[in-house]
Amino acid sequence: MLRRSLCCRQQWQYQSHRIFSTLKASPSQLPQEIRAANRKITELIQAGRLQDARTFFDKLSKRSTVTWNSMLSGYVRRREIANARLLFDEMPLKDVASWNLMISGYLSCRHVEEGRDLFDKMPKRDFVSWNTMISGYAKNGRMGDAVRLFEGMPEKNMVTWNAMITGFLNNGNVKRACKLFESMPTRDGSSFSALVSGLIQYDALDKAEKILLKYSQDTKRPTSNDSNSGKSPLDFSTFIPFSLMWPKRPCHKCDCETAPARKMFELDPLAV
């Protein structure tokens, strides 16, 4: 059985961070009383006191959408999906973050159909909505659905492409992952890292080395000429340290465990 790669976990954690970060509101947008209540709920949830957070929430006379979302995020994080849905249905007003949270909760519990049903019912979607659904399909092994959603997406960002690359790798389709990488209109360090780290995790070391060599000319640090030309040179310093990614196994060429890392060092000494 293929092992789930490091880049998969990072992709999902990044997507979750994007969702939960949307819960924050500018202090000027909310009264002091509500802001204090929101902080209290968040603190209780972070301390593992979810029931206390709910008791406090129920006693509030005034709540904002952020308040509801904060409580909803607690249930989602604890994967109490039934309670999360009950709260979601009770919300007097839902914003995009509310829908994204609930969809993320369903997908993290492998309730893919329920997540897609909510996605289809969303009155408005943002990049996080699309990317969450695509990542959820990929995480649950449904790459066919992920591809169809990807192709139907009105506009894609870098996270979308990286989610698809990671999805193909985590479902054992190295060829499709490489092909998609090659077809990207633009690439950044995260795209390169998603592909190379995935190849390494699945022991496709020859392919990883070819990618390293092929794009090594793009690893130079950005210059003023690059900025003017609109290019985004690949920056190895943004990658996961290769010493953590390369499997600890002897090199078939020199009987050492450091040949891949040495290759990385030769391309960019600051990256290892």
Fold of 1-174: 1.25.40
With cut-offs at 50, 70 and 90, classify the pLDDT of residue 62: very high
Percent of the chain residues past pLDDT 90, beyond the cut:
55
Q: Classify residue 13 by burial, with Cβ atoms within 10 Å: 0-12, 13-18, 19+.
A: exposed
DSSP letter for each residue of 10-46 = HHHHHHHHHHHHTT---GGGS-HHHHHHHHHHHHHHH
Confidence (pLDDT) at 218: 54
Higher pLDDT pick, 251 / 51: 51
Q: What mean pLDDT do residues 179-194 have? A: 88
Q: What is the pLDDT of residues 66-96, one digit of tens each?
A: 999 999 999 999 999 999 999 999 999 999 9
> Considering only 123-127, 214-218, 231-235, which range has the smallest mean pLDDT?
231-235
Confidence (pLDDT) at 91: 98
Whether 265 shows a pLDDT value over 80: the answer reads no
Q: Which two tokens stand for residue 136?
A: 């959820």
The whole-angstrom separation of Cα 161 and Cα 254 is 36
Confidence (pLDDT) at 205: 83
Q: What is the pLDDT of residues 200-229, one digit of tens each?
A: 887 788 888 888 787 765 544 444 444 444
Whether 10 shows a pLDDT value over 90: the answer reads no
Higher pLDDT pick, 259 / 45: 45
Angstrom distances, CA of residue 148 to CA of 112, 151, 152, 182: 15, 5, 6, 19
Q: What mean pLDDT do residues 172-183 have? A: 92
Answer yes or no: are the C-beta atoms of 124 and 96 closer than 8 Å. yes
What number of residues does the chain have? Answer: 272
Q: Spell out the domain ranges in the chain.
A: 1-174, 186-221+232-272
Confidence (pLDDT) at 97: 97
Q: What is the pLDDT of residues 34-47, one digit of tens each?
A: 999 999 999 999 99
Whether 156 shows a pLDDT value over 60: the answer reads yes
